[in-house]
Structure 1
Amino acid sequence: MKLSDSIKVRLREGQALVYAAEAESRGIGLAAFIRDRLDQTDRVEEELASIRVAMIDMGETLDELRDQLADTGNSASAQVQPEPPIPNAVQIETLMLLRASASSQDMRMVWGELDRQEIKPWRGKVR
């Protein structure tokens, strides 16, 4: 593979030393190490972009399915919903631990998504 013109890059002194040490430990030159890092970064960014697109597509597909269901008159809110099974102790404990470790911002984000999907969050039964 023929390489194009060289490009000079200025690095912070500490950063240059770290990169040089990593390159030496791999048995390659500093330029090859930096090229590999740039290539790896490009691949990661491409993968993240494709994951974002896939997530958007899934959201649109869910919306389309919900619309189709509503058009047929079989909307989930119009149907009689069976009583959900009572959760067991492990499920409740897991839910409580997850909720305790989640920030209020995380909870609002999750509840916002549930609201978007017209799903009522589980809050337990009031006795």
Structure 2
Amino acid sequence: MALSDSIKVRLREGQALVYAAEAEGKGVGMATVIRERLERADKADEELASIRASLIELGDDVERLSRLVADRPVEVPGRAQGDDQPSAVHLEMLLLLRGLVSPQTLRMVTAEVERQGLVPWGRSVR
């Protein structure tokens, strides 16, 4: 790989010492260390941009799915329409999941459910 023209960069004294120590440890010049760091930063920026694009796309997909199911009634096998009681499988899954999380995580999730204007399961069923 051919390198282009050299450039001068001013570094803070602390940075220069860190880069010099890293270069010495690797047995290369400081310019090589700085070039490698710049290349890693560029690669990280590209990966972050890709992740951001994927998240935006995912958000669009979730929004599209939400619109598709917004007006459709939820049908659960083995439950009568209008039955507000949890089915056996729902109750079993809920209890298993609650058994896996810490009380702190459960409080955090409950608070989020309430923040969204919903009634958490433990408070709705008594």
Flag whether TM exceeds 0.5 (same fold).
yes
Q: Give the direction of change, closer, same or farther, for the CA distance of 1:30–1:41 in structure 2 (3 Å limit).
A: same
Unaligned runs of 5+ in 1: none
What is the DSSP-based 3-state SS (H/G/I as helix, E as strand, rest coil) of the residue aligned with 2:10?
Answer: coil
Q: 1:89 Cα shift?
A: 7.3
Q: Give the direction of change, closer, same or farther, for the CA distance of 1:11–1:95 in structure 2 (3 Å limit).
A: same
Superposed CA RMSD in Å reads 3.5
Q: Give the direction of change, closer, same or farther, for the CA distance of 1:13–1:67 in structure 2 (3 Å limit).
A: same
Give me the whole-angstrom Cα distance separating, in 1, the residues matched to 2:119 and 2:15. Answer: 48
Unaligned runs of 5+ in 2: 75-80
- Identical aligned residues as a percent: 40
Question: How many pairs were matched up?
Answer: 115
Tell me what 1:96 maps to.
Answer: 103
1:64-116 Cα shifts (integer Å, max 9, x gaps): 1222234xx5254xx7566141633772572522266x6xxxx98x66xx84x
Provide TM-score, normalisation by structure 2. Answer: 0.69
Provide TM-score, normalisation by structure 1. Answer: 0.68
Q: Which has the higher contact order (CA 8 A, sep 6+)?
A: 1
1:26 aligns with 2:26: yes
Amino acid at match of 2:104: L
Q: 1:28 Cα shift?
A: 1.2
Highest Rg: 1 or 2?
Answer: 2
Give me the whole-angstrom Cα distance separating, in 1, the residues matched to 2:52 and 2:41. Answer: 16
Please identify, of 39-48 and 59-68, the stretch whose mean Cα deviation from structure 2 is larger: 59-68
